[in-house]
Amino acid sequence: MSEQIGVVIPCYNEYKRLDVSRFTAFLETHAQITICFVNDGSSDDTITVLNQLKGKFQSQVMVLDNVHNMGKAESVRKGLNHFVQGPVKFEMIGFLDADLSTSLEQYYKLCVFLREHSLKAVFGSRIKRLGSIIQRSPARHYIGRVFATLIGKITKLPIYDSQCGAKVFEASYLPQILLEPFRTKWLFDVELILRMMNVLGPSTMTDKVYEYPLDRWIEVGDSKISSTQFARIPLELLRVYKISLKK
């Protein structure tokens, strides 16, 4: 596949767990991939590691540095917009978590699937099945299923895993859904899906958006969501619901 592919990776205090060797090995074998790291006001030496990677891969690595912490939602939006508004045309753009719980190789599979099936978006999905390796704590799994059920009712789409941090989009329509800041901090994935539905229409969402069962997803500890932030998620769900009513 010769198309230019972009992936945004938001980073907040990732100095100790950013696996530089995995990024290096992948970039050396995938010349069509460009990674845009967004350092979200980290208080450790994350920016130093990112700049070192950029020094090794000048044409494949971008580094954006938020002076203050903006949160994952706005860091992802900033990175996506950087690809969209830049001089190079990228056919596919998406995002991935810095811990690589979904690997770069899996992300590339999503991109290949999108292109081969002429889709508008492909979302990674952590469906545990024979032949797959999905390692996720039971607590997070069951909490995720509750949220997925509620989100499915809000969006009226049969989405199994809206919160998986691996998504790729056909780039041409992204400017329309990235104009405004996200109103939610932790459920921006759902808000993004609602914006897509507004632009593409429900029938296109059904026919041209696909949830791709990941072959491998390994949970990495040290969740960035504190108990206080977790308690706010029901309010985020209510905010998403209100947004959905304005469609």
Angstrom distance (rounded) from CA 65 to CA 54: 13
DSSP state letter for 121: E
pLDDT digits (tens, 9 = 90+) for 86-110: 999 999 999 999 999 999 999 999 9
pLDDT digits (tens, 9 = 90+) for 190-240: 889 889 988 999 889 989 999 999 999 998 865 555 545 555 666 777 676
User: Which tokens sit at 22?
Assistant: 């995995």
Residue-range definition of the domain harbouring residue 122:
5-245
Beta bridge partners of 39: 11, 65
Transcribe 213-243 into DSSP letters: E-SEEE--SS-S--HHHHHTHHHHHHHHHHH
Beta bridge partners of 133: 216
pTM of the model: 0.90
- Structural domain tally of the chain? 1
pLDDT digits (tens, 9 = 90+) for 29-45: 999 999 999 999 999 99
Residues 6+ apart with CB under 8 A from 93: 5, 6, 7, 8, 80, 83, 84, 168, 169, 171, 174
- The CATH number of whichever domain residue 37 belongs to comes to 3.90.550.10
141 pLDDT more than 90: no
